[in-house]
Amino acid sequence: MRAAGRHAIDLVVARFTGVRDRPPLRVPPPEALRAVLDEPLPEDGTDDLCAVLDRVTRDALAEATRLDHPRSFAFTPATGNFPAVLADALAAAHLSVPGAWLVGAGPTQLELTTLDWLKALLGLPEGAGGLFVSGGSAANLTALAVARDRLLGDDRTGARLYCSTQAHPSVARAAHLVGLTRDQLSVVPADDALRLDAADLARRVPADRAAGLRPFAVVGTLGTTGTGAVDPLDALADLCAREGLWFHIDGAHGAAAAATERGHGLRPALCRADSLTVDPHKWLFQPYETGCVLLRRPELLRATFDLTRHALDSDYLGPTAPRGAEVNLSDHGPQQSRGLRALKLWLSLKTFGARAFRQAIDHGMDLAEHAAALIAAHPELRLVTPPGLAVLTFRYHPADVPPGWDADRAQEFISRAVCTEGEALLLTTRVRGATVLRMCTVNPASTREDVAHVLGQVARHGRRSLAEVRESAAPKGP
């Protein structure tokens, strides 16, 4: 066991220390992977666990895109951290299951303590509570299931849930999963800054109610995936209070910013939300799956998820009924058996301290500001959306372009060329109908040089796209 354990740790350390050694983008074709990995069920085992660890690391785990590469600026870059890896191993060894107190008392208390730390980090009210879930999607789903039960009961007729066009698709999927039809999700346009148009919503809700519909909840996004925009959360909180609606904030990307001093302005809205999605596997540097849902009134989770509420004709769980101050987290969310996701965050907070987390989050925002300044000063680049919570979008677009140069296609070309070169990962998205390059700078290991390098690549490939158009337009010789 020890030899294999040491070997596994060596592999882990090699991953952390060698993250720049390979290109960030790695997308092998399915046939190639099948050829290497497809094999019959192994009837007999092996004594050489080290060899198996080597093989699976090489053939499967390394055959993936490195979102933790410091020049990976696509999606939400992930980082993970070494204590969190150890946390997962320890929790697995102890079969830690913070479900019923009878089975997992210590793990449950550890999860509750970690939730308190997370609340302290983000400035959330003492009374808030919740649980760790697999990610932002599961957190949104959990919150909306509670909102549905609280405000609609069993009758979904005429229900209306509101979010903006910029909300993450997991919100629409959660609406579907909690039993709403597509037209019961009212998608509100975004304003020029790509934030939910609160004035439009303020007109919609009473109009819907007057039409006999049943508005029940609003989802505001704290850091949209595309541009890092923050919906007008204070105005949404006011509206929800006035109209008696559930207010959910999807802070999967952006809630972490509330930990920093410059993000303190977000805190009042977070404190007023009925529910909040936080996703520590994004900007709190945890490995997957570390998501979290927090409610201002956590006792409402039990109204939806308490297993006794759903009991059929068996009572094998009877002995697990909590006594006194005991807590069964399996009654607070959709999972009965659940892993101790909290330990990753607990151990990394213990190891690095909250200050290091705040500094790392600040670094992401500083880097985005720096990228924006470089773009603004560059004659061939144009900022499309300003840095919002460490996300910015821009285009390669010099003032003087040849006729026939298609700006949208050029951004695609540049993104492909950058990725193919193998030094960075930079993808496109669409903003107000135009294709743009999107950069998310939350990785604490990314440096100003990394940003400058990628912008240099963008300009170089952009010029190539111009040259290709000029060449194809040039008169051909006789």
Question: What residues make contact with ligand PLP under the rule CB under 6 A?
Answer: 76, 135-137, 168, 170, 221, 225, 250, 252-253, 279, 291
- Pick between residue 80 and residue 291 the one whose CB is nearest to ligand PLP: 291
CB–CB of 429/436 below 8 Å?
yes
Q: Per the structure block, which two tokens stand in for 322? A: 């909590």
Identify whether the C-beta of residue 317 lies closer than 8 Å to the C-beta of residue 310: no
Rounded-to-integer distance, Cα 110 and Cα 468, Å: 59
Q: How many CB atoms lie within 10 A of CB 174?
A: 29
Report in angstroms how near the CB of residue 221 gets to ligand PLP at its nearest.
6
Of the pair 224, 330, the CB lying nearest ligand PLP is at 224
Name, in order, each residue with C-beta under 8 angstroms of 395's C-beta and a sequence gap of 6 or more: 381, 382, 384, 407, 411, 434, 435, 436, 437
Closest approach, Cβ 163 to ligand PLP, in A, equals 11
Q: Toward ligand PLP, which CB reaches closer, 104 or 339?
A: 339
Q: How far is the CB of 62 from ligand PLP (least distance, A)?
A: 22
DSSP notation for 53-119: HHHHIIIIITSS--TTSTTB-SSS-----HHHHHHHHHHHHTT---S-HHHHHHHHHHHHHHHHHHH
Cα gap 303→331, rounded to integer Å: 9
Q: Residue written as tokens 């390394």? A: 62
Taking the complex as a whole, how short is the minimal distance between the CB of residue 167 and ligand PLP, in angstroms?
7
Q: From the CB of 225, what's the least distance to ligand PLP, in Å?
A: 4
Comparing CA positions, the residue from 198, 284, 280 lying closest to residue 242 is: 198
Based on CB atoms, which residue is closest to ligand PLP, 88 or 279?
Answer: 279
Q: How far is the CB of 277 from ligand PLP (least distance, A)?
A: 6
H-assigned helices in 94-197: 101-122, 136-152, 169-177
Question: Smallest distance from the beta carbon of 253 to ligand PLP, in angstroms?
Answer: 4
Q: Would you say 227 or 457 has its CB closer to ligand PLP?
A: 227
Between 227 and 348, CB nearer to ligand PLP: 227
Q: Closer to ligand PLP at the Cβ: 66 or 461?
A: 66
For residues 429 and 393, what is the distance between their CA atoms, to the nearest angstrom?
8
CA-CA distance, 322 to 52, in Å (whole number)? 43
